[in-house]
Every structure is written in structure tokens, then in C-alpha cells.
Structure 1
Amino acid sequence: MADLEKSKDELQGEQVDIDHVELKPNSDLMREAFDGENREHELGVWEAAKLHPWACLWAFTMCFTIVMESFDMFLNSSFVALDYFKETYGVAVVGSTEKAIPTRWQSALFQAGQCGAFVGVFLAGPITNRVGYRWTTIIGLILMNATIFISFFAKSLAVLTVGQALEGVPWGFFIANSPAYASEVVPLSLRGACTATLQMSWSIGSIVVSGVTYAYSKQQSDWAWRAPLALQWLFPTPLLILIFLAPESPWWLIRRGRREEALRSIKRLGKENEDEAHQALAMMERTVKIEREQGGNPTLLDLLKGTDLRRTTITCLVYASQNFAGNLIANQATFFFEQAGFSSDRAFQLGLVNSCLQFVANGLSWFVSTYFGRRTVYLWGTATNIVLLMILGVVASIEQNNSTNIAQASLAILISFIFAGTLGPISYTIISETSSIRLRALSTAVGRAAYYVAEIPMIYLASKMLNTTGWNLAGKCGYVWGGTACVCWIMAYFFLPEMKHRSYRETDILFNRKTPARKFKSTVIAVDENE
């Protein structure tokens, strides 16, 4: 302990002192690092939750910022199904007395926020590296409050589209930071459940949107869509206050050399016992030191160097694949139900049911991600949706009647349920665990950028497939998404490693040794190994 206290005194108050910590010669510090990591492995799920309720609260709070992206994403898909919105901004459909929003404007509304978020995720990485997760998120929440005004007061599809694009920029901040922060503030055994909360935030957003748009669906005025837009202001300010009160990630503080602040964060997150707090601190210092020996200050180019290229590829592929296994059906559920033959009123009701069932699936995913491996959940979830998507395509291909309409709606809801319980939440866990500590802020941002690169053209394709002014495929789109989901399954089978129960140090070592994906689970890493 004498050496440890000496190290504390020497490092206190210095911004970059972590670069000068010699961990290997310091036996006391190494022993504390060993004890801290062993404690992480020994801590069970329920015990960890009871000992670290504040860590769970702050992780959930950060993840809840995603509700705003979800809210707006589902809101846009609901607008195109609102009768008064279609009457105001739509065009006549050949052979029908009804109007529809042109495909190009549907796509623009759906894609605008994602384009803004694409910019936001690239801004988030450098900003987070400089000011931390908390202040980056606070900046995003302030921007969110400001940009909602543009959408709310829009009087044309063009201005509404611009407003959505600007709202997307803070979304990028939220989605880049949330999985990284959540994975860094909770114990190892809670990582899966806490990062899975991101998908639950998506479901909460869709439930609120479904309820509000259904309530206003018969409104014959601009308030049919302005009132739901105004409800976005419910979220940023309360979240801003909570995030301001939250502790910064101790991992980020250690990376910046702010050792005493990191120790205070560790204690606020649940390790009030002095010895346990110092053990956790030593474990973090050891991991950060090992990574620093492999490179200096992180840059985007580092994501493409050495073993980090493999980690970046996995992160990007897992994120992008969310768009190819049924997720876009869930995101456009209300419009899909209309195209499947249901009235506008019934389509909104089914959309609300679908959102509520997704929320249930998200709750179940906490247990699934806790007791099953990340790779196992991803592969089985994808395989199940492949089968269901192909069946959806078959049902939509036969002669249509009320029974086939019900079957299509049921299959779409089931596909969304499976996605919300397996693929969706486990993807965030995989992403947060794959990147190295040193590059985490940049890696999660670039991974989400890959998601948007895949999603933006896929949104156009999905709108084209469903729209009556496009290909009007309805459930036949199941063939397309089933085929793309097959590609995702094959890539995951060969390239996705199992990282459940692995500390960040162990994950670093496995990647540095170029361990094959299917051997991650069985490879033993001793607590005293550093490379």
C-alpha cells in the first residue's frame, strides 16, 4: 500500500500523469489490479445489481437519451399514415380517391434525421475525447431543445425535412456515447443488461409515438402532427439535469490522467469500500497502460491499424446489420399495416400493440443477454427472423383476403418482437465490448456511422417497396429482408467472437493474439497476463 499511496500523491492533479505510471514494477498496484479483476469475474448479476444501483441508474439515464431518436424516427413513419397530413402534403394516387405522400418525400423525411445523425456521430468522438461523455451529451441535449423549434413551426415538407436533419446531429451524440458510457460504469456481469436498455429506449419512444399519433389521427388540423412534434420537448431538459448530476466514466478520467476524479466516480458508482475502490482503479490503470503502450493519443486512423482494424470491422458490421434483419419493418410498422390491407385506424392500433410487445421483448432481453452468450443470441435471433421473413413473403404472394392480412400483420409483429429481444439489444452489447478502451468513443461513433450508411439507402428501398406510388410489395418485402439477413448470419458465424464474461484486458489480449472468433470462448487468459 505504501507504493500505491506514493503513486497517488505523485499523480494527483496532473492531466497526463497516467503515461508515467509504471504498473509492472509496482507489485502492490499489480496485486490490487488482480484483485479488482477477480472481483469483477466473481460478482453475480443480482449481487452486482444490489451493490451498484447508482451505476445502473446512470447507465439507464444515459441510454434513455436514445428515446429521442426513436421518438422522431417512428413519428415520421406515422406522419405518412395520418389522413390530414396526407391530405395536406400528399398527391393523388392513380385509380384512387385518396392521396399519398410521394416516395421521394417519404424517403427524405425518414432519411433526414439519419443524415444529421451521421454528421453527429463523427463530431461526437473527438468532442467526447476532449470533454467527456457527460458534457458531450449535455451539449447534445441543448442542441435538441433548439432544433425542435424548426420542425414544430415548419409549414412545408422541405422545412420539416431540414428540421429533422438538424435534430439528427444531437442524436448522433447520444447514440455514439450511450453504449460506451453504459458499458464503462457498470460491473462486468451487468454490461449485457445495461447496454440492452438502449433497445428498450427505442421501444419506449415508439410506444409514446404510437399512443400520441393514434390519439391525434382523427384531428383535422395541423395539430395532428404538430402536437406530437411538441411532445419532444418533454425529454431534453429533465435528462440534461440528470446527466449533469451523473458521474463521469472513470475509464475516461483514467485515460485523461485524472486519477483522483476517477476514484471519486468509482465510489459514486457503488464501490464505497476504500479497498474495493482502489482495486477497481488499479484494474483500470493497468488496462489503460497496456493499451497506451500500443499507441499514443487516439485518432480516427488508429481504428484502421493493426488489430483495431478487426475490432472496427466487427463493430461496423454488427451495427450495419441491424438494418437487414427485419428492423425496417418494425420502424415503419404503422405504414406496413396499412399496406397489408388494414384501415388507417386499425393500423395505428396495431402499431401501438407492436410497440408494447417490443417493450416486453426488451425486458426479456435482459435475461437473455445475461444467461446466453452474445454470439449465441445474435446467431439464433437472426436465424429465427430469416425463417419468419421468408414465411411473410410467401403469405404475401398468395391470393389476398382478410386471413392473409391478419397473417402478415402477425408475422410483422413477431419479427419485430424477435428483433427487439435478441438482435437489437445484443448488438449494442457487442459494440460496447468490442472496441478498445483507448478508441471506444471513436469506435462507437464510426460503428454508428456504418449503421447510417447502410440505413439511409435501405430506408429509401423500404419506402419504395411499401409505397403504393412505388413497388407496392407489402409483405413480399420479406423475401428481400430474409435474403439480406442470411448474409448477416453467415458473416456473424465466421467473424463474431464471444465476449461474454471477458474483462476489457482479456478482450485486448485475445484480439492482439489474433484469436479466431470461434475460439474466444474457450481460450483461457490468466489474471497476470498482459499481452
Structure 2
Amino acid sequence: MGVVSEVKHEVQQKPFATTAQIENGIHSDAEKSNLRAEAMEAENAEYSMTVLQAVKAYPMACLWAVLMSSTIIMESIGNFVALPAFKQQYGIIDPATGNHVIATKWQSALQVSGQLGALIGVFIAGPLTSRVGYRWATIIGLMVLNGMIAVSYTAHSLPQFFAGQILEGLPWGIFIANAPAYCSEIVPLRLRAPATQMLQMFWAIGSIIVQAVSFVYQDYPDRRAYSFPTPLAIAMFLAPESPWWLVRHGKYDQAVKSVNRLGRKSRLNAVDTVAMMRRVVSMEATTKKPNYPELFKGTDLRRTLIVCGVYAAQNLTGNLIANQAVYFFQQSGVGERLSFALGLITSGLQTVAVISSWVLTTYFGRRPIYLWGSAFNLVMLLSLGIAASVPRTHASTLAQASLGLITSVAFTVAAAPASWAIIGETSAIRLRPLTTGIGRATYYIVEIPCIFLGGKCGYVWGGTALICLVVAYFQLPEMKGRSYREIDILFKRRVPARKWRQTELSINDDQ
């Protein structure tokens, strides 16, 4: 966003295109020149401000990014299958122990049910968001989720519960496809990393909610959690639409109003900011409506592959370890209640780790944090595989649990949060809803088979992590400090990933 430097204290008064001129289009060379000058001033202002100035200038943008990111909690809240009450209601008697257990085939089915629904949901998200906007697409998803939760929690059999979980997954796909795109579009350049990385933090918060409920309510699920989507939908109704989405659809006057709602009027020039957005959108202009085949053509193919690759790498470099901390504690012989308590502690550490990552990626960049974090995870995963291969003893199982804990926390301080910043910045503006959607689909396609791997999966994930690390070293560019105009230009010029940081661009460049 175009923020006026704090030393000015006020918006500099100068001739610029009025919102009416922007709404009606630019017809003369003088108007085009004026609009271009305003766009340059807004972009230069973004370069010059600090992180603290960005927060002070756009406090409401930070708030709306938090609210959008909180929709990710939904994906964790739907999973209560580990509760004893669930086993009591839907399980069968194990002849060996006399306890209720969920049949193996249904355990496998329930583990992937939500992901299957979300896989469908992400393909719905792209066209839906392109048509109605991030705000309304999210509201629709939250309202649908209310109904789908009712299906799951009024189910009287595992087939009904399985169907409910798939239906719940549909709006999950909308949330996870839209959140990184929306967060990256409503904040200024200096805040793109922390705004998108909040997604990882809310994933940890979702795990804390589930594990806390599982720890406290051992005999029944907490139905108070079911009503969470409704107040969140009300909050999203009050949220502004992404000004980038409005500019893409020619709604320039509304875009100016949206920018004013995101920031403080005394610290920004909203018309200049919209001019900057319009400049970038005009660089990507085409008569075609956004469509999936475009993602695999020309320079957009490279951008799509980066987003899909980073999403896939989340599962191939430690994400599933991070999500299965309780499993590793149970494998070490720790009791069920203590395992949930330790899992709760792990999620708390992950939350702190994500907050630490805001500083790391903001000041050191996305690429180095991602590469070094992936390299560390590679070592941990191979160590986990070795610990799982030695004769099973109390020491070896404790080693597995410890390595799982270290991997889960390390993953959420480096590779995972850095990947969200990369995902939010890489795609072209006009194709962003579609790109983030198909990228998340890649995530689910990779995740589903990985869910069923056991402790020795450290060897498998270690091998895939090595491949991901090598590919990222040669193909992942550094987008820290780059405006969306510069990112577009660098992709169009096919600049090699390792040369992005050294490549200099002029503020006058459009291609």
C-alpha cells in the first residue's frame, strides 16, 4: 500500500486523478502520465517505510488479516475422533482388551475424509472467489460449514459421520485457498510475510483448541465449539474486500474506499495506492477471464509450479510430523492423558515459533529461511528414521518422541511459515485465487497417502525432503522487498531464481 512517510505527518497535497476520473477511465496522455506518477509515488512510499510505520499506517489491515487467518481453525476443530466418547459411540469391542475401538478400515477412512472434501473445496474456491470476491466467498463457506457440522454431530453411524466430514471439508478448501491470497493483498509490502504467516500460527491455535478439549472433556465432545463459524461470518461481513480484487474488476472507487478502511487516512493516499494497483493489473491485462488452463502457460507455469511445489513440500519436509506430536508421545509409552497434555505444550511452542518466524523472514528473507529450515528438517527426519529402525526399547521410543517434538517446532519456525509468504506472493494478481487453490489441491494429494506412514517414514520423508531442498535451491526466488510489479517483471524476464536478489529494476519499468 502507498504509505506517506511519517516525517510528512500529512498527506502531501498535489494534483492527482480523482476517483471519478479513475472510475470513468483515463482518456488523455496527460491523465495517463498523472496516473503513472501517482503509482510510482505509492510504490516508492512502500519501499521507504519500516515495518513499524506499516503497522501504524494500516492497523485495520492487520486486524482483518488476523480474522481471515482464524478461519483456518475450522480445519482442526472438526477432528474429535480421538476422544474416548467417540470410540464409545462408534466403536466396536476389541476382544483382546474389552475396550471400544474404531475399526481399522474406518480409522483410515476418517483420517482422510476431511482432506477429500477440502480437495474438492479448493477447486470450488478459485472460480467462486474470482466471481464474488474473497469476502463473500469466505462468508458463504462459513455458513455452509454450520450446516455441515450439524451433519457430523447428529450422525448415528460411521458412514453418516464420514459423509459429514467430507462435507465439512468443502468449506475448509475455500478458507485455505483464500486466506493467504487475501492476507497478502490487504497489507503493504513490509507486512506481507507476517500477515500470511499468521496462517501457521492459527493452525497451531486450532490444535491447541482440539487438544485442550480432548484433555479436559474425556467423556464427551465440546459442542460449544460448533457455533464458532457464525460470529466469524459476521466479522467477515464487516471486513473490506481486497482492493486488488476490486481493481481487477474495474471497481476503482470502491477500491479507494477499501484502502481507506484498511489504513489511517492521515498516513496514506488511497488514490495513489489504487493507481499503483491499476498499473500492476494493466501489466497482466487480457480479455480472457481467469481460468485454470492459464496456470500452465508461459511464465504463469513457473509461478504455478513454485506454489504447488512449496505446498507439496510442506508434507514432504516435516508437516505431518508436526501434526502428529501426540502419536509420537504415545509411541514412547506415555499415557493417553499425558500424551494429549504434551501435545498441547507442543502446539504452544509451535505458536511461539511462528511468531519468531515473523522476525526471521521479514529481515532475512524467505529463501534463506526456507532453505536452512528444510535442511535442518532433513537431518531430523533421517535421525527419526534411524531411531525407528533400531530394536524397540524405551530409549529408542523416547528418542522418536523427542525427535518428533524438535522437528515439529523447527518446522514451524522456518520452512512452514516461510512457505506461506512465498505462496501469497508468487502468483500473478489476476490468477491468484486459482493459483492458491490448485496449489492447496497439490498439498492434499500429497498428504493423503503420507498420512498412513509410520515411524520409519523418516527415511521416506528424509529422501523427499532432500529432493525438495535441491529443487528449492535452484528454483525458489527471493521475493523479500519486491513489489508485485517487480515480481511480475522478474518472472516475465525469466530471471533465474538465484539471481533475483542481485537484479535491479527501475521504478519506470513495466516489462
Q: Shorter-chain TM-score category?
A: over 0.9
Match of 2:489 in 1: 509
Residues 457 and 60 of structure 1: CA distance in aligned 2, closer, same or farther (over 3 Å): same
Correspondence for 1:483 among 438, 450, 463: 463
Match of 2:336 in 1: 344
1:38 shift after superposition? 0.6
- In structure 1, runs of 5+ residues without a counterpart are 466-474
Cα distance in 2 for partners of 1:247, 1:110 equals 36
Residue 304 in structure 1 maps to residue 296 in structure 2: yes
Match of 1:60 in 2: 66
Whether the aligned pair in 2 keeps the contact of 1:192 and 1:366 (CA below 8 Å) is yes
Residue 427 in structure 1 maps to residue 419 in structure 2: yes
Match of 1:276 in 2: 269
Whether the aligned pair in 2 keeps the contact of 1:23 and 1:286 (CA below 8 Å) is no
Correspondence for 1:33 among 15, 29, 39: 39
1:241 shift after superposition? 1.2
1:426 shift after superposition? 1.4
CA-to-partner distance for each residue in 1:429-476, whole Å, 9 max, x for gaps? Answer: 1011000111111111111111111112222x33xx2xxxxxxxxx32
Cα distance in 2 for partners of 1:356, 1:274 equals 36
Match of 2:254 in 1: 261
1:4 shift after superposition? 1.9
1:93 shift after superposition? 6.5
Whether the aligned pair in 1 keeps the contact of 2:331 and 2:397 (CA below 8 Å) is no
Cα distance in 1 for partners of 2:400, 2:302 equals 39
- Cα RMSD between the aligned structures? 2.1
TM-score (norm 2): 0.92
Within a 5 Å distance, the mapping from 1:450-461 to structure 2 comes to 450-459=442-451, 461=452
1:83 shift after superposition? 4.0
Whether the aligned pair in 2 keeps the contact of 1:71 and 1:202 (CA below 8 Å) is no
Cα distance in 1 for partners of 2:22, 2:35 equals 14
Cα distance in 1 for partners of 2:365, 2:287 equals 31
Cα distance in 2 for partners of 1:232, 1:192 equals 30
Correspondence for 2:429 among 437, 451, 463: 437
Cα distance in 2 for partners of 1:346, 1:273 equals 53
Match of 2:127 in 1: 126
Whether the aligned pair in 2 keeps the contact of 1:358 and 1:417 (CA below 8 Å) is yes
AA at the equivalent of 2:35: L
Cα distance in 1 for partners of 2:390, 2:16 equals 76
AA at the equivalent of 2:191: L
Match of 2:141 in 1: 140
AA at the equivalent of 2:270: A
Residues 122 and 22 of structure 1: CA distance in aligned 2, closer, same or farther (over 3 Å): farther
Match of 1:9 in 2: 20
Percentage identity across aligned positions? 50
1:29 shift after superposition? 1.1
AA at the equivalent of 1:279: D
Match of 2:472 in 1: 492
Cα distance in 2 for partners of 1:266, 1:278 equals 9
TM-score (norm 1): 0.89
Alignment length (residue pairs): 498
Whether the aligned pair in 2 keeps the contact of 1:183 and 1:191 (CA below 8 Å) is yes
- In structure 2, runs of 5+ residues without a counterpart are 1-13
Whether the aligned pair in 1 keeps the contact of 2:328 and 2:400 (CA below 8 Å) is no
1:300 shift after superposition? 1.2
Match of 2:504 in 1: 524
AA at the equivalent of 1:391: S
Q: Which shows bigger deviation, 184-193 or 89-98?
A: 89-98
Residue 233 in structure 1 maps to residue 226 in structure 2: yes
Whether the aligned pair in 2 keeps the contact of 1:189 and 1:501 (CA below 8 Å) is yes
Instruction: Give SS of 2:466's match.
Output: helix
- Runs of 4+ in structure 1 off by over 6 angstroms are 20-25, 92-95
Within a 5 Å distance, the mapping from 1:90-129 to structure 2 comes to 90=91, 100-129=101-130
Whether the aligned pair in 2 keeps the contact of 1:324 and 1:481 (CA below 8 Å) is yes
Whether the aligned pair in 1 keeps the contact of 2:125 and 2:173 (CA below 8 Å) is yes
AA at the equivalent of 2:173: G
1:130 shift after superposition? 1.1
AA at the equivalent of 1:37: E
Match of 2:322 in 1: 330
CA-to-partner distance for each residue in 1:282-323, whole Å, 9 max, x for gaps? Answer: 11010011110x563211111111100110111111111111
Residues 333 and 27 of structure 1: CA distance in aligned 2, closer, same or farther (over 3 Å): same
Cα distance in 1 for partners of 2:373, 2:422 equals 14
Cα distance in 2 for partners of 1:35, 1:514 equals 27
1:333 shift after superposition? 2.4
Residue 251 in structure 1 maps to residue 244 in structure 2: yes
Within a 5 Å distance, the mapping from 1:38-57 to structure 2 comes to 38-57=44-63
